[in-house]
Amino acid sequence: MKTHYYLGWFNNFFPKNLSRALQEDITDRKSFIMISSNPFSNEVDGAIERSWLEEAGIMFDEYHLIDHRVEKEEAQTLIRNASVIFLLGGDTLKQNHFLMEYELSDVVKKSRAVVIGASAGAINMSAKWLCSKNLGYKVEYSSVYSGIGLDHFSVLSHFDLENNMELIQEELSPLSEEMNIYASNKDCAVRVKGDKMDILGKVFLISHSKIKRLAETL
């Protein structure tokens, strides 16, 4: 049964119910693979994301960071052998380009590992996402990008929703006619396990141009 976690950002550590769910889902703890969000920067090392799992009591025999210092073929092999794949937070566009350049999307999709993404990583796990200056990207024109497509929906993660609801609705309405969009801010998570979806924190569903908050189930 495939399990995917779409996270916002956690300034502290995971809440107990999220930690408990991860402990139950991550039974194989041999190899932890992180995919950089800025593959040319040595400053992106996944230390914060690792600390969340370590605080939850989840540690691994091996830790590997995939960036441009790793050859493409080696990166694909690491992903094939992963227990957990974590797409790091940071620069959504640079991570997206890296996934395409290294041909990692299909390898991640075929993996039996638990796949987790935080912020930018969660966005790139989804089927499609909107890149717009109104959503914080330094671009002139809005574009829809393809993500890995682990599940057939879009994600807007780690965004100030409460103060931008009208903007969010206007920006995402066209894409919401094509697929569901799950929007969240900090301290939030969407877990997809098989055919079941669980919600932690303030997560909103945008579907056919309408927005509603989802009940917490995790």
Query: Could you read off the pLDDT of 99-112 as tens digits, one per residue?
Result: 999 999 999 999 99
- Tokens representing 40 are 């040319």
Element (H, E) at 87: strand 84-87
Task: Provide the domain count of the chain.
Answer: 1
Residue 49, CB half-sphere, CA atoms under 13 Å: how many?
31
> Within 10 A of 146 (CB to CB), how many other CB atoms are there?
14
151 Cβ contact list (under 8 Å, min separation 6): 4, 125, 126, 127, 192
The confidence score (pLDDT) of residue 159 equals 75
Tokens 């400053």 sit on residue: 43
pLDDT of res. 204: 94
- Among 113, 104, 197, 99, CA closest to 155: 197
Helices (H), the chain: 16-25, 47-55, 72-80, 92-101, 105-110, 120-125, 165-176
Over range 88-94, report the average pLDDT: 95
Asked if residue 43 has pLDDT above 90, the reply is: no
| pLDDT, tens only, 119-166 | 999 999 999 999 999 888 899 999 999 999 999 999 998 777 777 778
CATH number at residue 156: 3.40.50.880
- Domain assignment present for 218: no
Is it the case that residue 15 has pLDDT exceeding 90?
yes
Q: Give residues with Cβ within 8 angstroms of 109, minimum separation 6.
A: 148, 149, 150
Residue 42: band (very low, low, confident or very high) from pLDDT cuts 50, 70, 90: confident
pLDDT of residue 104: 98
Assigned domain for 20 exists:
yes
Query: Under 8 Å CB-to-CB from 55, ≥6 apart: which residues?
Result: 13, 14, 19
198: containing domain: 3-213
* 30 inside domain: yes
Instruction: Tell me, yes or no, whether 109 lies in a domain.
Output: yes
Instruction: For residue 78, tell me if it sits in a domain.
Output: yes
Residue 187 lies in a domain: yes
Check residue 90 and report its DSSP letter.
Answer: S
Q: Is residue 69 domain-resident?
A: yes
CA atoms within 13 A on the CB side of 132: 15
**Is residue 66's pLDDT more than 90?**
yes
Q: What is the pTM of this model?
A: 0.96
User: What's the pLDDT at 101?
Assistant: 97
Which amino acid, 196?
A: K
Domain assignment present for residue 29? The answer is: yes
Q: Residue 23 — pLDDT band, cuts 50, 70, 90?
A: very high
Instruction: Annotate 135-190 with DSSP letters as a single string.
Output: GT---SS-EEEE---SSSSEEE-S---TT-HHHHHHHHHHHHTTS-EEEE-SS-EE
